[in-house]
Structures are given as structure tokens and as C-alpha cells.
Amino acid sequence: MPIDVSAPPLRRARTIPVHRVLPNFARDPANTLADIGGQVDGELVRLGLGPFRPYLVTRPDHVQQVLKSDWTSYQREGMFWRPLRRVLGASILGEGEPWESSRRALQPLFTTRRVASLAERMAEIINERMDELDEYAGSGRLVNAAEQMARIVNAAIVGALFGGRISRADGERLAPAYDTAAGSITFRLVMPFMPYSIRVPGDRAFMKAVETIDEVVFPLIRKARADSSGGPDVISALCDLRDDDEAGNRQIRDDLVSVYGAASESTAMTLTWLWPLLDAHPEIAARLQEEIDGVVGSGPVAAGHVPELRYTRMVLQELLRLYPAGWIFPRMAMRDGEIGGVRIKAGSQVLISPYATHRLEEFWERPLEFDPERFAPGDRPRRHKYAYFPFGGGPHQCLGQHLFYVEAPLLLGAILGRFRIGVRSKGPFTAAAAASLRPKQDIELEITRAGRVAGGVR
Ligand code: HEM
């Protein structure tokens, strides 16, 4: 908000000193932010993180100001975002004109109705992947939860974005290329002031990964242009919208690469956190299982099952409260202003963390407890709209919310229709310092086939 001269004088925010932030932040970044947010009751503070001191914004009204009412003053610019632009280009994940035109083009492709048209194809792909899980079932071999969730989610997202135009081999080149790009960008994120004319560790692997992504995506755009039959997939819709010239195709590439990036890791990581939670809450697991047995049975899962999986949706909503994959998203103050009576200077970094806000006791009873009943339909305690914002808010609100609430129930319906899952790694599991909330430790799962008995499932 611009400074109001008639208002009380602005305060300076308290700084949490570096020795209280840095060691804990390196060990367990998400809980460090949540602990600090809780200790100061959501007051605006600065985090001593060495050379820069970003503001931590956790109170729902402050979050609303940054994301919505005053969003043009707090933009996705600055040191955290610059390195990402080298892979994402000028796209929906940026700001300004490129973001605006991409948002306008992409938004209609992710409405409830459009997502419903992609659901059948996603269900088919997810069901196919179950046959591969079956190879593990009963073999005694453990599977890595994050790897398996990523494998299934990536295939479903690639199907939704590219339809039947992409070979499995090409689809499977994308995931490791993204992983390499994400892993090799760390130096640039930590030392964002280094000029790009100077090569730094990770640069070569990063550029190679971007090359691989382009080798897969550009031919697909050409293929979609040549085949005018148009499917319900996103690439066909983008080809209809954008000019068939170098600039138009580059824009399609940037948006596809950005949407794939935003969609795949976030969904896969969210679902990874579910298994230890279900393991620790057998009564919730049993109710979920009962719903899936009743709706999906032994499968295959189908798009028509999704609206009936009501408890599954509540479980997913509560899962996203405790483990919002976008656990931190940075903004840069574009001009001098204030938040909650604190002066914010142009150029400052502001950090928003749903992980921290979702754990504030003032807004959530028993905030650390996993309790899907919080999202039961009917009378719910009235809460500030921005006490819960796993998908962000304001003009940059996630485009993939409907897609998530179709894809995730399909995936759970398919898995729990056919298998029983046991967690074999010992917790507690903590989040690593990564762009999305990813468990630091491996979560190993044992998969067994659901026993069929006359009239039901054992
Ligand atoms: C559990 C799953 C997901 C979570 C937790 C999540 C979270 C978020 C959050 C917090 C933002 C706002 C970022 C910001 O304000 O800077 C965002 C933006 C975005 N998400 Fe998601 N997302 C998820 C899944 C998806 C999926 C499946 C898609 C696929 C279409 C998607 C596409 C996008 C896009 C395109 C944006 C940028 C929107 C804009 O800036 O206009 N997300 N997401």
C-alpha cells in the first residue's frame, strides 16, 4: 500500500538474528519459517539470512495485501526469479505483458469444463501405470514414494498437455531433464549477482537440460501444427491461439515448459507426503479406503468417479494445508510501501509461506494435527480467506487447481483400488530446501495387492 501520511508513523520490522535463523533454516527450512511465524504471532519480521534480510509475511490480511489488493507493488522479480527465466522463458510464470498474455491464453484451457475433457485421457494413463506397480506388488521389493508418484503424475500431465502426440520415450526424457535443470540451478540461485558471461558450476548441465527439453517440445509443436484435427490437449489449443511464426512457437514452448514445471513436481510431492500421514492415522486411511472401495472397486478408475470421491477430496484439502507444495513464494517490493504498519523499501524481498500461515494457532485449532474433517461440507468455522491458500491467490492464483482435484483423486482411486500401501521408512520426515516441499529422507513403500473376497475387498 502507498504510504498514508495521516497514519501513525511506520515502524521498522524486528529482525530475527542470523544465528537464530540460518542454522535451523539450513536443517529444516519450512518448519523454521512456521516456528518463527508462530513465535511472533504473524507479526511482520525480517529474517537474518546473511547478506540479505527478506521480510516474512504470514498473517492472512498481510498475505492478501501482497498477493491481491496491492499485487502490483509486490512482483515476481529479483534474485529468486531471474535464474528460472533461463528455462521458463517469458511465460505465465513471469510478470508484465508476457505473463498477462499467457494468462489470458491459458486460463480458458484449465476451467472445470476443459479439465473434465482431459480427465478420461488422464484416467487411462494412470490405469496403465498401475500395471507397472503390480510388478512390485507382493515381490517384497520396496518402492520410493517420490519416484513412483513423479512417474505417474508426469505421465498424466504429459498426456494432458500433449495428448497422444508424444511418444513414451520422449515423455520420459522430459522428467530427468527438468530434474537436472532444477538441481543444477542452485549456484545461480544462491549467487544471483554473478553475471551470465561467467560460467559457474552447474551451468553446463543446466544448458544441456534446457536443450533436451527444447529437443522434445519444439518438434511436438510442429507436429501439433501439422495435425489440425486438434485434440482436447493443451498444445492444440495453444497452436490455435498463437501465430505460426518463430515468436508464436517460442511463446507456446515457454508456456508448455512452465505449465509442465508448475504442474508435475507440485502434484507429485503433495501425494508423496500423503503416505506417511495415512500410515500414522489408520482411522483416516480406513475411511478413505472404504470410500474408494465403494466408488472405484477394483478399478479401473474413471473420470466419472471423481465427483463421488468426496472424502478423498477432504483428505487432499487437509494434505495441502499441512504440506502445501508451494511452501514459499518470493516477491520483490517494486516501490516504497507498508505492510501492517511496517515500512517496506523498494527492492526488498518479501517471502510468503502457506506452510507457515497454515500453522498459525490464531487461525487454526490444533494446527499440527491431520484432520480432514476441517473440510467437511456444511458448517465450517469462518476463517479469513487467506488463512488457507495452497494455490496462492490474486491474479497469480494457480491455474492448475481443478486439474489437481481431478488428477489426484484419479491417482488415489487407481492405487488404493488395486493395492494396499505400507510405509517402511522410519519418520519423522522433514522437508528439504528445494523449490517445492520435498521430503529430505526417502519414503519407502511396500505395495501389496488388495485381496479380493466374495462381495468385497479385504
Ligand atoms: C498440488 C498441486 C499444486 C500446488 C500446491 C500449486 C501451487 C501454486 C501456487 C502457490 C501458485 C502461485 C505462485 C505465485 O503466486 O507466485 C501457483 C501458480 C501456478 N500454477 Fe500451480 N500448483 C499446483 C498444481 C498445478 C497444476 C496441476 C498446474 C497445471 C496447470 C499448475 C499451474 C500453475 C500455473 C500456470 C501457475 C502460474 C499462474 C500465474 O502466475 O498466473 N499448478 N501454483
Which of the two residues, 411 and 173, has the higher pLDDT score? 411
Mean pLDDT of the chain: 89
Question: Residue 193: what pLDDT?
Answer: 65
Q: List CB contacts of 442: < 8 A, sequence separation 6 or more.
A: 144, 145, 146, 425
> Each residue of 66-80: pLDDT tens digit?
999 999 999 998 777
> Each residue of 18-37: pLDDT tens digit?
888 778 887 888 999 999 99
> Each residue of 295-353: pLDDT tens digit?
999 879 999 999 999 999 999 999 999 999 999 889 999 999 999 999 999 999 999 99
Banded pLDDT at 453 (limits 50, 70, 90): very low
Question: Residue 441: what pLDDT?
Answer: 92
pLDDT (mean) for 418-430: 92
**Angle at the Cα of 209 (from 204 to 213), degrees rounded to 5?**
150
Which of the two residues, 162 and 3, has the higher pLDDT score? 162
Nearest to 259 by CA among 99, 423, 83, 136: 99
> Each residue of 236-248: pLDDT tens digit?
888 888 899 999 9
Q: From ligand 1's centre to the CA of 94, what distance in Å?
A: 12
Q: From ligand 1's centre to the CA of 92, what distance in Å?
A: 10
Answer left, alpha or beta for residue 392, where phi above 0 means left and psi between -120 and 50 means alpha.
left
Question: Residue 205: what pLDDT?
Answer: 86
Question: Residue 297: what pLDDT?
Answer: 92
Banded pLDDT at 163 (limits 50, 70, 90): confident
What torsion do the CA atoms of 153, 114, 97, 326 make, to the nearest 10 degrees? -30
Banded pLDDT at 454 (limits 50, 70, 90): very low
pLDDT (mean) for 44-52: 85
Q: Are 77 and 334 in contact (CB under 8 A)?
A: yes
In the predicted model, is pLDDT for residue 228 greater than 80? no
Domains of the chain: 14-457 (1.10.630.10)
User: Measured on CA atoms in the order 288, 291, 297, 303, is the torsion positive or negative?
Assistant: negative
Q: From ligand 1's centre to the CA of 258, what distance in Å?
A: 10
Banded pLDDT at 455 (limits 50, 70, 90): very low
b/e map 392-425, b = 16+ CB within 10 Å:
bbbebebbbbbbbbbbbbbbbbbbbbbbbbebeb
Question: Residue 82: what pLDDT?
Answer: 76
Q: From ligand 1's centre to the CA of 367, what distance in Å?
A: 24
Question: Residue 192: what pLDDT?
Answer: 62
In the predicted model, is pLDDT for residue 105 greater than 50? yes
Pocket of ligand 1 (CB under 6 A): 76, 92-93, 103, 110, 259, 262-263, 266-267, 270, 324-326, 329, 390-392, 396, 398-400, 403-404
Ligand 1 pocket test target in 315, 398, 402 with most atoms within 8 Å of CB? 398
Interatomic CA distance for residues 319 and 340, integer angstroms: 30
Hey, whose CA ends up nearest to atom 43 of ligand 1? 398
Banded pLDDT at 1 (limits 50, 70, 90): low
Answer left, alpha or beta for residue 315, where phi above 0 means left and psi between -120 and 50 means alpha.
alpha
Min mean pLDDT across 84-88, 89-93, 156-160, 398-402 is at 84-88
Banded pLDDT at 4 (limits 50, 70, 90): low
Question: Residue 207: what pLDDT?
Answer: 87
Q: From ligand 1's centre to the CA of 400, what distance in Å?
A: 6
Banded pLDDT at 457 (limits 50, 70, 90): very low
Question: Residue 100: what pLDDT?
Answer: 92
